[in-house]
Structure 1
């Protein structure tokens, strides 16, 4: 990996700003640069903003699809005999009964993907071969009571997972269907009318009823943050749902006043998200969510520019640039990423999306990173997505991306002072640690944890999260082991792990090109009895030194220092040896002070085992003496 000292200077400059953990700051970036009157003046009506070929433009679709055309047609052919699946009442109720989401989601996803593939194939071929089956899918979907997922329907007034015919809930999937079906209406309504005008009339009615009317009239959607109160969370749902809703209006609404009202409402809502996330640009939800958080901000801002004739542009703003470049900064190498919270340790992102963001902010580094990922992933453009707009935009970007020089250049030291993420690359090692607080979006109780990669292979890891169930987003979330601090690289103090809540946060977090340190005293509940617990990480050439300097009110139970790892583990004398593939590391400790042990954690959940294999391990160092004060030291050599 190449590095540039220029970026070190920039990040060091950012480190001079004071850290504020609780994010919401009334910046109102969008409203500060545009008024509602300007929207009215700039408005592009009658879908004149669309720059994709019309359905009948065979040459245009041949050019846009390029070498993807035959794949698109073959994918559509596979759906010609698709049996449109009925989601039964008990499929919805299963979420309440067992916590299983997939029973409802799997058939629903299959139907939605079929619509996408049939629409793409018809646009690619243009002979009407896929039209009848597409009509079947459209009409079948219009007959559903709700387009929301069973896991999200408890947000409706009934609080239950069976959809109510009286309430149109806009969630992530309802919004995505608005995206798919609005584009279906735009491209195909003239063709549908030749079969029967009722098809398009019904489709417009359902999009208006399920997306446009509730978007304008209902203030109860938590993600819109219309009635935001201090301490509320705003996450990726906000730009994701807002971009889909705006797109639906842009493709269907030809009343200028109503379209203007929707645009202004979206600006007010997205500003709440931009106020909530930190201006340093880090995604507290992790790289897995970047595409639906910062990436959806890109989609939204592009749409906002399109509907105003490109006279509104926010891509020169430093916060937007920081949000874009986070995904490149968080890529370690060989497919591994820095994965705090619910994010997976494997990934990197969608090359076409990253390239588009690089184009928008004028970042060669982002565009080179996109080309690098495309080469590493042997990437073919994603054509099996529920996000039809992303497919279209990806097709536009892919030709230029394919000719771009691949490279991944990151600073040796990156410090996000508000979010409190620290990344250090030195020699063959990449180190990442975090401060923050225990009420971040997709939170794990993980203040002060770290990960370490050697030659782009994890040595000390963050397990991530398993398959989502009802428990994952319930009051029982922190009974899941992956969410607990004692299954992160952290201390258990006086037998007490960290606790969930906004008041549990890092103190005095500081970072430099060689070291990260923070005080963990407020990350643990009062019963842990902590006066001070200063944890520091110092990265040297081929060595990481971890120190815990502590002072307790009283010593009740032995302290325990945990490390999560994988590979071949052996404990002998004063060291623990770890080997994996072509790398090895040792943890040197004081055997008079600690007893070392290994716990095997079987991974039966495929979301975890697909990343880590059949098992990972927790190495625990349990103090042999009760101590109110002390200095622990662990030296990791590699």
Structure 2
């Protein structure tokens, strides 16, 4: 069976529309009013589609042959030593920028709680209860469930140590809230047999830290309730709102209060949908799709379940576009298109993609999900501390197994609003190029860049991003080399690189599918001192080559231009006019005019595991340095495979 793919907009010649355009679509608020929500709500957790704790036959059937897996994982936690996160671990974020020293022990504790919960649900004999109580009670004793890296933005003190002056909802406090809400839902009766104070304390903490805080505090940036032009609304919004929604659905049984909370989340999630372009592309890249569109889907699914299907926007074409982005950004053999902070490997789990695809009736997504699963030795049945995803995976486990695993790369995909363009051909070329602007979520200064894959192997690459530190999301962000345009496949013009800022953008962005050509004027992506009147970069994909052309005009030329290409594997620049790149089984040649350029190669050592796990110990920047200073001209480069 073959799946037919079509471009997002199959016109012969397409110009993009302005980027970063917030449109008040308000899909959720149009789908249901507060009164309609109130009448549609399913009371007393009757929407939960999983067995009750005491339904042993139900759990045996629900878990199937995964039951022993969950029990085994829980048994590993019976001797787990709960880790104290000391004050100095929070303070270290300010001292050195290290986040992991606080995040790692906190995350390991939370994973232990998830493992123990699933083990107890699987076995049902009470064997994991005491250790689970230890984890729950320790969590309740913590001053905050928020990461050190996130506290400073929201706290009164603006410091990384919890100041206890207000509760904060961030990604991980929300994750832990929803996890503990499932613990309470399933096991509060068992806890009461030990001591009622345990459940009472847990319920109180969830009320104060999450339920009351969400309803009474509108100051959190991710809520975007006071959205103003220029504000960013990224994956935090659906991620946090989803955690809040499931906590309310699992704990709140007052219909009026629950309806108000649900509607408040809808108003907030609408801001994320409004901010996202209708073409559905995730400007944060495939690594973030599961946290952005994927979490939005989880949110919409829970809203659908909690209202008996009466509140749904799954039929809206935009929601389907947002889901299918993850299919179209897949290159092959685990490689994906990785703009911004995304990694070139991974992105999207099969079970999540399947569920999303089923909800929006996307055959492409469902078959692609089956294809991803067919490439794995076993299907991942756990999503870490995200119990909802674990349970949903199990719910659709058998059904997903029956779907034929098929994937076919489309010839082209064009996102006219986000300005992403993918082109491929039957000879193994896959090109990804972008326009955009330099204030996208998880932004790199990379307007006009490209990645080229040959036989699914990345040859000219986007390095991605290293391990997150304090510097990554601070005023120092663009001092990091991975964020800079001169470490992307872009020119250094008149000695100037692209700066950060919304005004630095591509203009005159066009895609011509008949010619398989993408072009953009990137002059406005460079600062005034670069003196660029025009720099139009065009990518044309032929049957056996990729042609790249730079047509430029400068107000004044003072410094020779430098055109950079990032690659890996082995690189040979010894023959004038040719650059030979060998990566795995692929050999490629980049041809340039030897009379115009002198090549220089820089070795970039990768000592950060987040980068080296993808690319190995080093990558290379090949710079074509212009021999002459000229105010206008045309540069041409051609890439083809060689045997």
The answer as to 2:486 corresponding to 1:486 is yes
Please tell me the root mean square deviation across aligned C-alpha atoms, in Å.
1.3
Relative to structure 1, the CA distance from residue 550 to residue 17 in structure 2 (aligned partners, 3 Å threshold; closer, same or farther) is: closer
In 2, Cα distance between the equivalents of 1:391 and 1:13?
41
Partner of 1:386: 385
Look up the match of 2:619. 616
Higher deviation after alignment, 118-127 or 568-577: 568-577
Choose from 540, 560, 563 the match for 2:562.
560
Q: Distance in 2 between matches of 1:202 and 1:106?
A: 25
Structure 2 SS opposite 1:11: coil
CA distance in 2: counterparts of 1:15 and 1:241, whole angstroms: 39
Q: How does 1:343-422 map to 2 (within 5 A)?
A: 343-383=342-382, 385-422=384-421
* 2:311 aligned counterpart, secondary structure: coil
Aligned-pair distance for 1:13?
A: 4.4
- Find the residue that maps to 2:471 and give its secondary structure: helix
2:456 aligns with 456
Q: Are 1:169 and 1:210, in contact at CA under 8 Å, matched by a contact in 2?
A: yes
- Paired residue for 2:78? 80
- What per-residue deviation string (whole Å, max 9, x for no partner) do you get for residues 487-515 of structure 1? 00000000100000000000011112311
1:599 aligned residue (581, 599, 602): 602
Q: What is the alpha-carbon distance in structure 1 between the residues aligned to residue 458 and residue 201 of structure 2?
A: 53
The Cα offsets for residues 423-458 of structure 1, whole Å up to 9 and x where unpaired, read as 001121100000000000000000000000000001
1:429-508 counterparts in 2 under 5 A?
A: 429-508=429-508
Aligned to 1:209: 208
Instruction: Tell me the secondary structure at the aligned position of residue 314 of structure 2.
Output: coil
Q: Partners in 2 of 1:593 and 1:153 — Cα distance?
A: 52
- Among 626, 633, 637, the alignment partner of 1:634 is 637
Q: Is the 8 A contact 1:3 1:410 kept in 2?
A: no
Deviations 1:444-485 (A, max 9, x none): 000000000000001100000000000000000000000000
Equivalent in the alignment of 1:585: 588
Shift of 1:411: 2.1
3-state secondary structure, aligned to 1:30: helix
Answer yes or no: is the 8 Å Cα contact 1:504–1:522 preserved in 2: yes
Secondary structure in 2 matching 1:152: helix
CA distance in 2, matches of 1:223, 1:372: 34
Name the SS for the 1:146 alignment partner: coil
Moved more, 367-376 or 392-401: 392-401
Following TM superposition, by how much is the alpha carbon of 1:65 offset from its aligned partner in structure 2, in angstroms? 1.1
For the 8 Å contact 2:562–2:625, the answer to whether it is kept is yes
Please tell me whether the aligned partners of residues 348 and 373 of structure 1 are also in contact (alpha carbons under 8 angstroms): no
> For each residue in 1:104-136, what CA deviation from the matched residue of structure 2 results, as whole angstroms up to 9, or x when unmatched?
011101100000000000000000000000011
SS of match in other structure, 2:518: strand
Deviation at 1:582, TM superposition (A): 1.3
Whole-angstrom distance in 2 between the partners of 1:580 and 1:290: 28
Structure 1 stretches of 5 or more lacking a match?
none
Tell me what 2:68 maps to: 70
Q: 1:159 to 1:288 in 2, by over 3 A?
A: same
1:576 pairs with 579, 595, 618, which one?
579
The alpha carbon displacement at 1:379 in A equals: 3.6
In structure 2, what is the Cα distance between the partners aligned to 1:14 and 1:305? 38
Per-residue deviation, 1:85: 0.7
- Deviating above 3 A after TM superposition, structure 1's stretches of 4 or more consecutive aligned residues are 13-18
Asked if the contact 1:279–1:322 (Cα under 8 Å) also holds between the matched residues in 2, the reply is yes
Counterparts of 1:191-230 in structure 2, within 5 Å, are 191-230=190-229
After TM superposition, give the deviation of residue 599 of structure 1 in Å: 0.6
Residue 16 of structure 1, CA deviation: 5.1
Work out the CA distance in 1 between the residues paired with 2:459 and 2:93: 37
User: Which residue in the other structure is 2:136 paired with?
Assistant: 138
- Between the aligned partners of 1:175 and 1:217, the Cα distance in structure 2 is 16
C-alpha distance in 2, partners of 1:17/1:633? 23
Q: How does 1:10-89 map to 2 (within 5 A)?
A: 10-13=8-11, 18-89=16-87
Q: Which residue of 1 aligns with 2:518?
A: 516
Residues in 1 aligned to 2:525 and 2:3: alpha-carbon distance in whole angstroms: 34
- Helix, strand or coil for the counterpart of 1:625? coil
Which residue in the other structure is 2:259 paired with? 260
What displacement does 1:153 show?
A: 0.4
The equivalences for 1:240-259 within 5 A come to 240-259=239-258
Q: Counterpart of 2:541?
A: 539
Distance 1:243 1:13 in 2: 37
* Partners of 1:44 and 1:16 in 2: CA distance: 46
State the Cα distance separating 1:15 from its structure 2 match: 7.1
1:563 deviates by 0.4
Deviations 1:281-336 (A, max 9, x none): 00000000000100011111111111211111211101000000000000000100
Q: Is the 1:14–1:417 Cα contact (8 Å) retained in structure 2?
A: no
Is the 1:327–1:349 contact (alpha carbons within 8 Å) kept by the matching residues of 2?
A: yes
Q: Is the 8 A contact 1:7 1:410 kept in 2?
A: no
Aligned to 1:128: 126
Aligned partner of 1:115 in structure 2 is 113
| 3-state SS of paired residue (1:295) | helix
Q: Aligned to 1:316, what secondary structure does the other structure show?
A: coil
Q: Which deviates more, 14-23 or 342-351?
A: 14-23
Superposed CA offset, 1:501-542 (max 9, x none): 000000011112311100011100100000000100111112
TM-score (normalizing by structure 2): 0.97
Q: CA 1:201 to 1:3, structure 2 compared with 1: closer, same or farther past 3 Å?
A: closer
Kindly indicate whether the alpha-carbon contact (under 8 Å) linking 2:31 and 2:312 is maintained by their aligned counterparts in 1: no
CA contact (8 A) 2:549 2:637 kept: yes
Q: Which secondary structure does the structure 1 equivalent of 2:282 belong to?
A: coil
SS of residue in 2 equivalent to 1:249: helix
